């Protein structure tokens, strides 16, 4: 326990230590996964979903392919067209150029 003057020593090969480590690792994995999901949703909403005609799946396609909004802006128009089609690409590139 925190502040306890006598530390608890557990053998490195003990099965109870393995259980404690597994619980810790699972708690961290759960927290990190949750945070990554929240962050990616926030990035999609702030950057691309505000553009009329662009939904979450199109935004995800673009971000997976180009990595970021800056990557989309710097990409060749032909690459964006190949990913989402001519009409949507025109809308996206126009909106990002104005931003």
Helix count and strand count (H, E) for the chain: 5, 0
Domain ranges of the chain: 15-98
Average pLDDT over residues 22-27: 98
- Architecture of the domain made up of 15-98: Orthogonal Bundle (1.10)
pTM: 0.54
C-alpha–C-alpha distance, residues 76 and 20, integer Å: 51
Comparing CA positions, the residue from 33, 38, 81 lying closest to residue 58 is 81
Q: Which residues contact 55 (CB under 8 A, 6 or more apart)?
A: 49
Q: pLDDT digits over 35-60, tens only?
A: 998 887 776 666 787 888 888 889 88
Q: Which residues contact 52 (CB under 8 A, 6 or more apart)?
A: 91
């Amino acid at each position: 326990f925190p502040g306890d003057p006598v530390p608890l020593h557990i053998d490195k090969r003990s099965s109870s230590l393995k259980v404690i480590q597994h619980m810790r690792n699972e708690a961290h994995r759960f927290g990190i996964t949750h945070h990554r999901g929240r962050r990616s949703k926030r990035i999609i909403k702030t950057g691309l979903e505000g553009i009329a005609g662009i939904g979450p799946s199109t935004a995800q396609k673009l971000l997976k392919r180009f990595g970021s909004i800056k990557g989309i802006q710097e990409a060749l128009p032909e690459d964006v067209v190949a990913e989402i089609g001519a009409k949507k690409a025109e809308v996206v590139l126009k909106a990002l150029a104005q931003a």
